[in-house]
Every structure is written in structure tokens, then in C-alpha cells.
Amino acid sequence: MRYDGRMIDTSRTRRAVTLDEATAILARTPATLDALLRGLPDGWIHAHEGGETWSPFDVIGHLIHGEQTDWVPRCRIILEHGEARAFDKFDRFAQFELAKGRTLDSLLDEFATLRRTSLRDLAALDLADADLERRGTHPVFGCVTLGQLLATWVAHDLDHVIQVARVMGRQYSDAVGPWRAYLRVISGEQG
Amino acid sequence: MRYDGRMIDTSRTRRAVTLDEATAILARTPATLDALLRGLPDGWIHAHEGGETWSPFDVIGHLIHGEQTDWVPRCRIILEHGEARAFDKFDRFAQFELAKGRTLDSLLDEFATLRRTSLRDLAALDLADADLERRGTHPVFGCVTLGQLLATWVAHDLDHVIQVARVMGRQYSDAVGPWRAYLRVISGEQG
């Protein structure tokens, strides 16, 4: 990749999306969050970053809603309608109703089941990597490709793994004392 | 907690460290990273964020080195010497030598084994929560407590879970197309 007139080596910093690699990561998310969260005391499950920010419990509800309404349904819209029909909008707050009165364990179980179904449905579409160029219409962005949708599904998973670990780590912002200077999760630096 | 003259509710944003809660999270880290990483193609394992930044493979090596030289050894120094003996400095680059020629699977296995041993050693110290006030000397920060050390061990784990997920998510910075605006892992925003 050329940038600022110099050649930048992106062999370890950027990847093109392929069906095999994207689904390999998508398949790992439920077990990752299960390993991190199942069985923790309620104070950790319902911890958040203040104000209207989300807890680990809220995040799992949000991921469930995504499986139900967002990812595979949008793939199907691209394959069936191309650019002619825009995606339905995604409700970023549906998890609060959906998860009311539930236990974290039952949400983790449901997310794992729904993700397995999503990946089975995706496999049944029998796509080739060439299909990743197929186009659809996002209600805000306009033209997007099936490959961009798939890459976004993966990055969205990882973003929420980050969020859960960040919410948890920041609970100890005071408890770590002077070490806060070395801990990016607490200092807020990403580098 | 009082801040700027107003009472701030920190019941969901801050936690005091306890032995039970800290060890509950420490026990989960090896399985979390195992679920996220084991079996992924090499391109993902050795991905990084450019320059001298670390890959998921480097991070697991770093966590191994921490188990060997940092956490429980520092607990012991506090218990045996109090503030009289400063901790040994931690080598943040030891993983490059340690992990040379290894497979990721063998590093994940070793980290899991070492962590189990660390938690068994910690349990054998038979600490009470009151011991978390005991003091030691950090070579840079000066006086620190056992509780701060334990909280830092937990936050350090979570910081590296974040790092691994961030390195992976950013591989798709270009692949996600216009969705990059919605993905904090790519836009760089933490909120």
C-alpha cells in the first residue's frame, strides 16, 4: 500500500476478508465471552463505565439481537435484492427489553445457539469469495458490499470483546494505585 | 465518591479488590485467550499494529514471562520483606527470546499451566483480605500495597485481552469500508 509517497508494508496490519477466515473468528466469539464471563459475581456482570454505558450483560443482549435481526438477514437482502432494497435499520437498544429478567448464563447460551445457526445459514448460502463483491444498500452509507458486511460482523464482535474487558478492567481504576500509569485500559491510551 | 462538589455514584464503575474476585478473573484469562486464538491461521496470530507493536503470539509470550517472574514473586517479596526490598524490574521484551520457534498452541498450554500454578501458590499463602494492605516497594513508584499488585495483575490480563482483540479487529480497517465510522476498534475512539 502506498501512503505519503512511501511504500508501507501492510502484510501484518491489514487483511482482506475471506469467508473461511471471517467465519473462523465469528465461530470463536461465544466461547471467548463465555470463558471471560460465566460464573462471575453479579457486580462484574452489571458493571459499566458510567451514565448510559453498557455492562457485559447488556453487550451479550446486544449480540443476541444482532444475530436475530442484523447479520444474516442483511446478507440475504444483498443476495436477493442487490442494491434495490436498503437494509432495515438496526435497533441498538433492543437488548434492554430482550434481556429483562434473564440470567447471564441463559443469554450466553442463547448467543452461542444463535451464532451456530447463523454460521450454518451462511454456509447454506454456498457463497464463493467472488460473491463478497456483491452490492447492497445501507440506509445511511449507501452502497456497501457483502465482503464489507462480513468484515464488519467480525470487527463488531471484537469491538464488543474489547468493550467487555475494558468495562471490567476499569472497575479497578482506583484499586491499582500508581500502576494506573502503565495500564492502557485505565489510562485510556490505546497505543 | 465525591467529585467536583457532587456525589458520584460509583457502585457500578469502581470495585474494591478482594482475593475471591481477583482470582475469579485471573482464573478465566487462559481459557478466554485460548477460545479467541487457538487454531486461527498464522496470519492472524502474527498480525500486529505496525512498527514495534505486538502480535497475539507476542502477547501470550509476555503473559508467560509475567507468571514466571512478576506476579507471585512480587507477592512473596511483599510478604517476606515488606518495604525493605524493592521488586526486581520486569523485562517487557523477554517474550521475543522465550517464544522463538514455539507454536501458539504450546504457548497457550504453558500459560494455562503456569496460571494454575500461580493461583495454587497464591492460595497456599493463605492470605486474608486484610493482608491486601501490606506494603512493598516498587522500583519506580515506591510504596505500593499487595492489593494494588493483585488489582494490577487482573487489569493487566484484561488489558492484553483488549490488545489481542484490537490487533485482530484492526486487520479489517480497510475491509469494513464505510462501517469504519461505527466501529470503535477501527475509529480509535474508546467511548
Q: Identify the closest residue of chain A to B177 by CA–CA distance.
A: A148
**Residues 10..39 of A with a Cβ closer than 8 Å to B: which?**
12-17, 21, 24-25, 28, 31-32, 34-37, 39
A chain contacts of residue B28, beta-carbon cutoff 8 Å: 35-37, 40
Q: Please check whether residue B67 is in contact with residue B114, taking contact to mean a CB–CB distance below 8 angstroms.
A: yes
The pLDDT, as a whole number, for residue A4 is: 57
Report the pLDDT value the prediction gives residue A189, as an integer from 0 to 100: 67
Confidence of residue A5 (pLDDT cuts 50, 70, 90): low
pLDDT above 70: residue A1: no
- Of B25, B60, B68, B27, the C-alpha closest to B154 is B25
**Residue A104 confidence (pLDDT):** 98
Q: What chain B residue is nearest to A157 in terms of C-alpha separation?
A: B169
Characterise B15 by phi-psi region: left (phi > 0), alpha (psi -120 to 50), beta (else). Answer: beta
> Which of B89, B172, B187 to probe the A interface (max A CBs under 10 A)?
B172
Distances (CA, A) of B76 to B68, B86, B134, B174: 13, 12, 11, 47
Measured in whole angstroms, the distance separating CA A90 from the mean position of its chain's CA atoms is 13
pLDDT in tens, B79-99: 999 999 999 988 888 888 889
- Separation in Å, CA of B83 to nearest CA in chain A: 16
Span A68-99, pLDDT tens digits: 999 999 999 999 999 999 999 888 888 888 89
Please list every residue in chain B whose beta carbon sits closer than 8 Å to the beta carbon of residue A139: none
> Predicted confidence band at B189 (pLDDT cuts at 50, 70, 90)?
low
Q: Which residue in A36, A49, A172 is closest to B17 by CB distance?
A: A172
Rounded distance between C-alpha atoms, residue A84 and residue B178, angstroms: 19
Residue of B nearest to A45 (CA): B12
B152 → chain A, closest CA residue: A176
> pLDDT at residue A2 above 60?
no
Q: Residue B37 pLDDT > 50, yes or no?
A: yes
B132, B125 contact by CB (below 8 A): no
ipTM over the 0.85 cut-off: yes
Mutate to test the interface with B, among A57, A171, A187 (most CBs of B within 10 A): A171
Measure CB to CB from residue B152 to each of A16, A138, A176 and give the nearest one. Answer: A176
At A9 the three-state DSSP class reads coil
CB A36 within 8 A of CB A59: no
Instruction: Answer for the pair A109, A117: CB distance below 8 angstroms, yes or no.
Output: no
Q: Distance between CA atoms of B155 and A175, rounded to whole angstroms? A: 10
Rounded to the nearest angstrom, the minimum Cα separation between B132 and chain A is: 11
Q: Do A178 and B46 touch (CB under 8 A)?
A: no
For the stretch B126-172, pLDDT in tens is: 999 999 999 999 999 999 999 999 999 999 999 999 999 999 999 99
> What is the rounded CA–CA span in Å between residue A7 and residue A77?
38
Quote the pTM value: 0.95
Average pLDDT, chain A: 93
Q: Which residues, numbered 66 to 105 in chain A, qualify as contacts with chain B under a Cβ-Cβ cut-off of 8 Å?
A: none
A138 contacts in chain B (CB < 8 Å) = 178
Gap between the Cα atoms of B119 and B48, Å rounded: 30
- Please state, in angstroms and rounded to a whole number, the distance separating the CA atoms of residues A118 and B176: 19
Calpha distance B23→B29 (Å, rounded): 10
Interface of A with B in 150-179 (CB under 8 A): 151-152, 154-156, 158-159, 161-163, 165-166, 168-179
Q: Would you place residue B5 in the very low, low, confident or very high pLDDT band (cuts 50, 70, 90)? A: low
- Structure confidence at residue A191 (pLDDT): 41
pLDDT digits (tens, 9 = 90+) for A119-143: 999 999 999 999 999 999 999 999 9
Mean pLDDT of chain B: 93
